[in-house]
Amino acid sequence: MPLNEHLAQAPRRGMIVRSKETLEPGLSIFKLGHRFDGNVCQSDEQVISKPWWFTEATVESIDHVAQNANESLSEVFRRFGAVAKRWGGSADLIVKARIAAPVIAYIGPGTIQDFREQEHEESNNTWDMPLWVPSPNIAQLYIPLAKKSDSLSSVTMAALRDIYIVPIDEWERGYIYGNPDSKWKL
């Protein structure tokens, strides 16, 4: 039985759910993390407890696009994941973890984010695209591991192992397949 079966509910927004699957132990997953959410500093536990993750293949695509287009990794992660700057996340971390026990995940592309009616507003003095249409070929994972009131549940710690929280400006392509420097291990 998957560890998060009692928490497994599809996301209400942000994703077009194409499938519900059980992820097996050993699978590497990744996320764009935010040390700051607005002006609030996030603990490591808060960073890893958020349910949005990416597959290894998606992170490889993101890294490839960033290198070939000479764009920042943070910007490409935001675009592929439809993570608007106006939502306040700092997008300054990449988290890598391995699944330690079977967990339920919802898989699919992000949804269109339409900010055209808010075009006149600035978001943290930065610009967001007015209309984001995520690639249908990009797989996001929604893995509910904790209730919002419980940022670091026993389910999270039982479900994940080999957790690395790497500053995005220290990220190296080789970390996709190998382990990041041990100084970033949680």
Transcribe 85-116 into DSSP letters: GGG-B---EEEEEEE-S-EEEEEEPBPPEE-G
Answer with the residue of higher pLDDT: 49 or 118.
Answer: 49
* Full-model pTM: 0.88
End-to-end Cα distance, the chain: 26
pLDDT tens per residue, range 45-98: 889 988 999 999 999 999 999 999 999 998 888 888 877 777 778 889 999 999
Angstrom distance (rounded) from CA 164 to CA 186: 6
Mean pLDDT, residues 159-175: 94
